[in-house]
Structure 1
Amino acid sequence: MTLIAGRQAVWRLTLEPMGAHVAWSLLHAGDTSPASAIAGGVIRDSRDAVTSSLAIAPRRSADGQIDLSRNSLADPILERATARLLGARLLPPVLLEGLRENRRHTVQIAARGWLANVPWEAVSIDDRANLRLIERAVLVSAMSPGIEATRARSAIPVDPTAPGLVIVDAGPAEDGITGESAIYPGRLPAELIGSGGLAAGDTVAPGKHVMSAAEAARTLAGGTWSRLLYLGQLTVGSPERPEAAALVFQRHGIRDPLTAGMWLADPARWPAPARVALIGCGSDDARFTEAGGLPVAAINAGAQLVTWTRWTLPADRLHSSGLPTTELALAVHHAHRSESPIRALRDWQLEKLEAWKADPVQETSPLYWAALTSYLAPGGGRG
């Protein structure tokens, strides 16, 4: 087990679905002590209760607008009840007791199957005080040690404020077969590219031109990038084919996907910088039995830090107001440019949680800020 930084308690919570039940184990490492197993067991009859409460997928109204009126993470009453249920069903009492200690905590969560869709940051650990897990701990995703041990390459970390590569809407504006569509079908919003938006020194692609998967390869290999932010269309894999998940590019106006399988097979062609963010339609693949999707492909290609989204986010153009998805992407972008990206992203999430508690509106709901999760490889720098 790798500590993120400093003196703290580190926990690793592993949860595996077993039909309607959940098998769990908990490891703990103190300030100087090595990791040791302290508890484990089976949580019975949790699947149906949890999955029925997580009505996360955005629904469209008759006019095509996103309807979040009864979303379990965007409606304040439903969200509070969901957070309470998740905490009661999924957090072992021994972990809750440990989090009460007056020290810094990091919780590494390895959750597969339907458990990967749980908004862990928003899970309640004390409903009476409306206290959430992220308020007591830094949260990161955990992957199998074998993924790190067998990676094909490892990017050399560089100054995160050095030029990075930002790929926005590289795929076709609309695809009638897949239903995929651009996040920004017109020009990029000023909030994204203006003052306070993307870093001035970064390269934003494809710009006014299209970008194929081959052109993406040449661009990635042609520069020493400090970061990669992909913001756009993503194809989700399936339980049978997690490697079918893809970043969507285009060639001559035709969809040209870079699948996780292609990326895994040829990481040198699409080398990943040390920090990678994949923002779009549910880029996580932990809900599948085999880990072979886009986050794993990015790690195999060199990434030390990968941030991704657990579920599909509503595009801002179909939202009633505000630019919450753009704001989320920029929060990840700025965090990845900082010395401690995990903590910087957590600070932003805590700001959103405070705003949600004070005046719950859809734009500050956990539907957005709890969609994010990150993996930091051992030796990948400060979290």
Structure 2
Amino acid sequence: MGDCVLSTLILRFADVGVATYASLRVVGDPSRTVTWVVQAVHVREALDDLARALPEPSAGESVADAVDRALVTGPFATRETELALARRLGTVLLLEPAWRLLVDYASTPRAVLFVSPSARLGRVPWGLLALPDSEADSHRLMELVDVLMAIPPNIVNSPRPRTAWADRRGHPPLLVLDPRVPGQRADSTLGSVLGRPSADTRLARHFAGGVSSRHVLPKVSAATELFRRTDADRDWLTRMLVEEPGRLLYVGHASAAEDRSGRADQAALHLAEDAPLTAAAIMTRRMPMPPRVALVACASGGDYRFDEATGLVAAMVLCGAQLVTATLWSLPTTAGYRQFTGGTADPMADLVVAVDDAHDDDEGGCAVNRWQRDRMRQWRSGDVTAHPLYWAALVTFAVDGAR
């Protein structure tokens, strides 16, 4: 079982002209509401610092240069620089009265904080934010509360199918693991995310139990057959979804639409077919999503980066999901991590296993938070393999009382 639900708080931001307006309120106690304004220059400076931490190329950088920077020399590369970034974000985005209110509601079990960011703040890893104090190990937001993302009201209030986790809990999960995009070599831009399938990999061992008990979709005879499938196109995916899986785990490539000036519904998943499956196509086809969906793919959780947040997360919710875990930015593959750090760890596999396990919990979003706290504390204690580029990227969106 999860460890949440005493109180619920709502943190909301809105971009208005050159400023970003913010409010923090306690559901059921409006007298505790806190409001403040963040000036655009401060937001821009903090987000520039965050951008330097992420593996996305800046002007003149190659993809390899960006991954090297993010893993080895950027703000996420050391405990000290990561904490400095977390404090900077915490200082700029949450004023002292807001932190004081959050501390007041810190409890066991934890309260739940729903975050509704503005487009400017759509890529902020909220759980990572640190109290702006001088302690060596400042408390993080996710240590005070379980951090979930709110679904925009226009999506929540739209007509949509609703399937509760309680009704599907015992159904097998649908696993779409690193589908093979036609014409792409394993080491190309849309090549393998998880590497060559092998029965000896951590992920193959993790999924082997479900395969042997026939409690996964698709039905396969060996765990390695779940990876790099060439038949996993949109029609195959639809057929699998019609079989009513308990949840969906997708690990692969995603394409994000261009920030703000683009259309969120053009964000897409890359399956085993030439054309990517856009959020718009998912909604048009009314693909029947299970109550829980995990999208471990490049910036799959970027809905809020658009004025109309109708990206991949919205598509999942409008097609039936109530809990969606996604990522805020691109994640280096295991091969990339090992190439640039010289280590032998497999942080991508760690993340996939953690999300898969968490989504089996009654409170899947809170379970993701627990894993993130564990990894953050390992990182804080000096474990360089618990790299924040991975655990800080995860966000979970929830609706209809899901936690």
* Shorter-chain TM band: 0.7 to 0.9
Deviations 1:209-253 (A, max 9, x none): 4321111111211x12100000001111123221111111123xx
Q: Helix, strand or coil: the match of 2:172?
A: coil
Q: Does the alignment pair 1:15 with 2:48?
A: no
Q: Matched residues in 1 for 2:88 and 2:201: separation?
A: 40
Q: Does the alignment pair 1:211 with 2:209?
A: no
Aligned to 2:89: 86
The 5 Å alignment of 1:177-196 reads: 179-187=189-197, 190-195=201-206
Aligned CA distance change for structure 1 residues 98 and 37 (closer, same or farther; 3 Å):
closer
Aligned CA distance change for structure 1 residues 160 and 71 (closer, same or farther; 3 Å):
farther
- TM-aligned CA deviation for residue 143 of structure 1: 2.1
Q: Matched residues in 2 for 1:376 and 1:198: separation?
A: 29
TM-score for both structures, normalised by structure 2: 0.83
Aligned CA distance change for structure 1 residues 168 and 151 (closer, same or farther; 3 Å):
farther
TM-score for both structures, normalised by structure 1: 0.87
Aligned to 2:322: 304
- TM-aligned CA deviation for residue 89 of structure 1: 0.4
Aligned to 2:223: none
Q: Helix, strand or coil: the match of 1:319?
A: helix
Q: Does the alignment pair 1:52 with 2:48?
A: yes
Aligned to 2:74: 71
- Out of 283, 290, 296, which is 1:264 matched to? 283
Q: Percent identity?
A: 26
Aligned to 2:360: 337
- Out of 106, 116, 130, which is 1:124 matched to? 130
How many pairs were matched up?
Answer: 366
On the 8 A contact 2:206/2:353 being kept in 1, the answer is: no
On the 8 A contact 2:4/2:146 being kept in 1, the answer is: no
The 5 Å alignment of 1:241-252 reads: 241-251=263-273
Q: Does the alignment pair 1:328 with 2:325?
A: no
Higher strand share: 1
Q: Matched residues in 1 for 2:83 and 2:229: separation?
A: 44
Alignment RMSD (CA, Å)? 2.6
5+ residue gaps in structure 2? 219-225
- TM-aligned CA deviation for residue 192 of structure 1: 0.6
Q: Matched residues in 1 for 2:196 and 2:182: separation?
A: 9
The 5 Å alignment of 1:147-166 reads: 147-157=155-165, 158-166=167-175
- Out of 113, 133, 139, which is 2:147 matched to? 139
Aligned partner letter, 2:179: A
Aligned partner letter, 2:248: L
- TM-aligned CA deviation for residue 36 of structure 1: 6.2
Aligned to 2:34: 39
Aligned partner letter, 2:300: S
Q: Helix, strand or coil: the match of 1:100?
A: helix
Aligned to 1:280: 297
- TM-aligned CA deviation for residue 37 of structure 1: 7.2
Aligned CA distance change for structure 1 residues 58 and 173 (closer, same or farther; 3 Å):
farther
Higher helix share: 2
5+ residue gaps in structure 1? none
- TM-aligned CA deviation for residue 208 of structure 1: 4.5
Aligned to 1:355: 378
Q: Matched residues in 1 for 2:228 and 2:357: separation?
A: 20
On the 8 A contact 1:173/1:182 being kept in 2, the answer is: no
On the 8 A contact 1:126/1:132 being kept in 2, the answer is: no
Q: Does the alignment pair 1:235 with 2:280?
A: no
- TM-aligned CA deviation for residue 273 of structure 1: 0.2
Q: Matched residues in 2 for 1:20 and 1:80: separation?
A: 28
On the 8 A contact 1:198/1:333 being kept in 2, the answer is: no
